[in-house]
């Protein structure tokens, strides 16, 4: 059955066409972004949800999204999606981090000119027939200092444009490396330095706990008199009430805002001030940017839904379309090794250590680790997948460690999963053979060679004569056919293990009889 995608925001038609061309069923219902009740009512029918900023993906919506696998944000900011809730539900959230960045940077530059020359005010006055030639005295931007808060994708483009306008560009961004600052041509400074020096301040950070109110009343007080402030990033970065006061006092000469604390902004402390210019979140609103983000999000979502390729996910590592088929058998192996350990564990897991040896160490091990943890937790928690597994493990205080190393033994690639609980430590290793089938090759240091099958019995016993015959007769008498039989032992007469594949389920009374056989220490049913 073809996957189904709902577009609940105003995306370019280009997205609809891509989904259709890729064989994905698509419903284009842009009105639903504003109708959360209707969205909640129908979201259960979809595998994918494509959005911009109007759709709010809340835990309530996610609760109803029983089939949902991916949310695609045609744009950058994903603050309208509850990411932890999506991850906990195993839903991938992806965005299009570059598609609208030039357009948004251009909007910030347009805002800078609008402020410098009061273009909106002069336009309104001229069209009102006033010809107020003496009222609108502007400032020249050449040689002025442009202070950029947040010098990522958009900030860097703004910097480049600012340098082109012969401005001196300084940037505050704790994550900007000195090398990158040099490449962009900006001077990296501390926030207080930026506040003290900038003639124009423009914000380009996401809204986080750290950036919220980065321009607070206190910060605004440190700015130069006559400073102009532009926000085309997110509402909440600037204290709007404090800014209004600074505009009223004349300390701040002008402010241009595209984003607001509350959107849609029908009222706002900045509204009505003569030196304020506002646009209704138009940063990304150009034909070019909207085509870019729509095409990209539709491609990314189709790739994931059809081939398992993941790009630009904010809650999962990327897996390219080339990597996906190579990774798939190792994802299956990691998940099954996790499942093996999980099915044998009845106490609190404290630590999970996963070692990747040989060729597999060069694969996307974050994805493999997530798969292993999903397998490990699934026997205890039905609703866990590779996306939700890491956050669930973290929530439960399970420490996850990964190690990679060169191949040391007989296998090109080997994954070993060790778990430590309050009672014991358990280790299991597996590989993928040339046929693409995952196999279990080592349990607790004892070599075996077994495939994972839907119905299996795992037995630990003393290596004594007679066990195999008695076990086979017992199953035969119960009418249970043995499909495959894998044995291993640490030494002659020592600890032995058997992994036995049977046709059909194993009745509890048969398992009890197996457990009661001489020399058997434990017998556990396993399903994969």
Ligand X SMILES: O=C(O)C(=O)COP(=O)(O)O
Ligand Y SMILES: NC(=O)C1=CN([C@@H]2O[C@H](COP(=O)(O)OP(=O)(O)OC[C@H]3O[C@@H](n4cnc5c(N)ncnc54)[C@H](O)[C@@H]3O)[C@@H](O)[C@H]2O)C=CC1
Compare residues 11 and 456 and give the one whose CB is closer to ligand X.
11
Residues 6 or more apart whose Cβ sits within 8 Å of residue 427: 416, 417, 418, 419, 442, 443, 444, 445
Task: Based on the shown chain and the rule CB under 6 A, indicate whether residue 204 belongs to the binding site for ligand X.
Answer: no
**Locate tokens 């002025």: which residue?**
144
Does residue 263 carry a catalytic annotation? yes
* 144 interacts with, out of ligand Y, ligand X, none, CB within 5 to 8 A per kind: none
How open is the CA angle 282-190-209, to the nearest 5 degrees? 55
Stretch that binds ligand Y, among 228-236, 304-312, 400-408, 415-423 (CB under 6 A): 228-236
The total of other beta-carbon atoms located within 10 Å of residue 442's CB is 19
Contact flag: residue 52 with ligand Y (CB under 6 A)? no
Which 3 state secondary structure label does DSSP give 208?
coil
Beta strands in 30-81 (DSSP E): 48-51, 70-73
Count of all residues that appear for the chain in the document: 528
Selected range binding ligand Y among 203-211, 245-253, 361-369, 374-382, rule: CB under 6 A? 203-211
Shortest Å distance, C-beta 293 to ligand Y: 9
Q: Quick check: is 107 catalytic?
A: no
CA dist 240 and 208 (Å) reads: 17
Partner from ligand X, ligand Y, none contacting 181, C-beta within 5 to 8 A by type: none
CA separation for the pair 433, 415 (Å, rounded): 13
Measured from the CB atom, the residue of 314 and 511 that comes closer to ligand Y is 314
State the binding partner of 173 from ligand X, ligand Y, none, CB within 5 to 8 A by kind.
Answer: ligand Y
Which residue in the set 16, 169, 200, 232 belongs to the binding site for ligand Y (CB under 6 A)?
A: 232
Least Å distance between CB 52 and ligand X? 3
Among residues 160, 187, 263, 402, the one annotated as catalytic is 263
By a kind-dependent CB cut-off of 5 to 8 A, residue 52 interacts, out of ligand Y, ligand X, none, with ligand X
Give the position of tokens 């000469």.
253
Contact flag: residue 284 with ligand X (CB under 6 A): yes
Element (H or E) spanning 135, and its range? Answer: none
- Establish if 292 lies at the interface with ligand Y (CB under 6 A): no
Residue nearest to ligand X (CB): 75
Least Å distance between CB 278 and ligand Y?
12
- In the residue annotation, 240 being an active-site residue is answered as no
Tokens representing residue 242 in the block: 């404090």
> By CB under 6 A, is residue 374 in contact with ligand X?
no
Pick one of 72, 152, 162, 261: the residue that binds ligand Y (CB under 6 A): 152
Nearest-approach distance from CB 9 to ligand Y, in angstroms: 13
Name all contacts of 76-80 with Cβ < 8 Å and 24+ positions apart.
76/100, 76/101, 76/104, 76/153, 76/154, 76/284, 77/53, 77/206, 77/207, 77/234, 78/314, 79/206, 79/207, 79/234, 80/51, 80/53, 80/54, 80/55, 80/56
Residue closer to ligand Y by CB (options 157, 514) is: 157
Binding string, residues 70-109; x marks residues near ligand X by CB under 6 A: -----xxx----------------------x---------
CA distance 360 to 362: 5
**Contact pick of 12, 55, 104, 312 for ligand Y (by CB under 6 A):** 104
Residue 277 in 3-state DSSP?
Answer: strand
Please report which helix (H) or strand (E) contains residue 226, including its range: none
Contacts of 405 (CB under 8 A, 6+ apart): 355, 356, 357, 361
Q: Is 151 in the site for ligand Y (CB under 6 A)?
A: yes
- Which residues contribute to the site for ligand Y (CB under 6 A)? 75-77, 97, 100-101, 104, 149-155, 172-175, 204-206, 208, 210-211, 232-234, 258-259, 281, 283-284
Q: Could you list the active site residues?
A: 234, 263, 281
């Amino acid at each position: 059955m073809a996957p189904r995608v709902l577009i609940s925001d105003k995306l370019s038609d280009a997205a609809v066409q891509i989904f259709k061309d890729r064989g994905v069923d698509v419903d284009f219902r842009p009105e639903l972004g504003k109708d959360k009740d209707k969205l909640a009512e129908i979201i259960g029918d979809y595998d994918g949800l494509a959005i911009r900023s109007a759709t709010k993906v809340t835990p309530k919506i996610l609760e109803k999204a029983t089939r949902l696998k991916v949310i695609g944000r045609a744009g950058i900011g994903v603050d309208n999606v509850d990411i932890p809730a999506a991850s906990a539900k195993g839903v991938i959230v992806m965005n299009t981090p570059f598609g609208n960045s030039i357009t948004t940077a251009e909007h910030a530059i347009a805002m800078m000119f609008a402020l410098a020359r009061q273009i909106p005010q002069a336009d309104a006055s001229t069209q009102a027939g006033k010809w107020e030639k003496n009222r609108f005295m502007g400032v020249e931007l050449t040689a002025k200092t442009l202070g950029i808060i947040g010098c990522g994708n958009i900030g860097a483009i703004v910097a480049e444009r600012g340098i082109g306008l012969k401005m001196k560009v300084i940037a505050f961004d704790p994550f900007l490396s000195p090398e990158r600052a040099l490449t962009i041509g900006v001077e990296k400074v501390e926030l207080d330095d930026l506040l003290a020096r900038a003639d124009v301040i423009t914000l380009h950070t996401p809204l986080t706990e750290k950036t919220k109110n980065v321009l607070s009343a206190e910060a605004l007080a440190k700015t130069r008199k006559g400073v102009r402030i532009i926000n085309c990033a997110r509402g909440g970065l600037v204290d709007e009430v404090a800014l209004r006061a600074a505009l009223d006092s004349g300390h701040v000469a002008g402010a241009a805002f595209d984003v607001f604390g509350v959107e849609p902004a029908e009222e706002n402390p900045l509204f009505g001030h003569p030196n304020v210019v506002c646009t209704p979140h138009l940063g990304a609103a150009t034909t070019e940017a909207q085509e870019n983000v729509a095409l990209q999000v539709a491609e990314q979502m189709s790739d994931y839904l059809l081939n398992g390729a993941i790009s630009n996910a904010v809650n999962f590592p990327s897996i390219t379309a080339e990597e996906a088929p190579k990774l798939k058998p190792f994802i299956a192996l990691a998940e099954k090794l996790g499942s093996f350990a999980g099915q044998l564990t009845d106490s609190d897991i404290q630590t999970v250590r996963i070692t990747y040896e040989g060729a597999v160490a060069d694969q996307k091990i974050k994805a493999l680790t997530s798969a292993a943890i999903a397998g490990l937790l699934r026997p205890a928690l039905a609703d866990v997948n590779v996306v939700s597994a890491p956050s669930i493990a973290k929530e439960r205080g399970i420490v996850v460690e990964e190690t990679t190393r060169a191949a040391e033994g007989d296998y090109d690639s080997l994954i070993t999963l060790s778990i430590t609980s309050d009672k014991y430590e358990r280790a299991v290793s597996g590989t993928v053979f040339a046929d693409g089938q995952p196999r279990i090759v080592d349990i607790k240091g004892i070599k075996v060679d077994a495939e994972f099958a839907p119905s299996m019995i795992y037995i630990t016993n003393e290596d004594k004569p007679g066990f195999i015959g008695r076990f086979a007769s017992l199953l035969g008498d119960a009418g249970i056919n043995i499909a495959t039989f894998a044995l291993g032992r640490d030494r002659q007469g020592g600890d032995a293990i058997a992994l036995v594949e049977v046709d059909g389920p194993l009745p509890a009374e048969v398992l009890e009889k197996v457990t009661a056989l001489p020399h058997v220490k434990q017998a556990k049913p396993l399903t994969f």
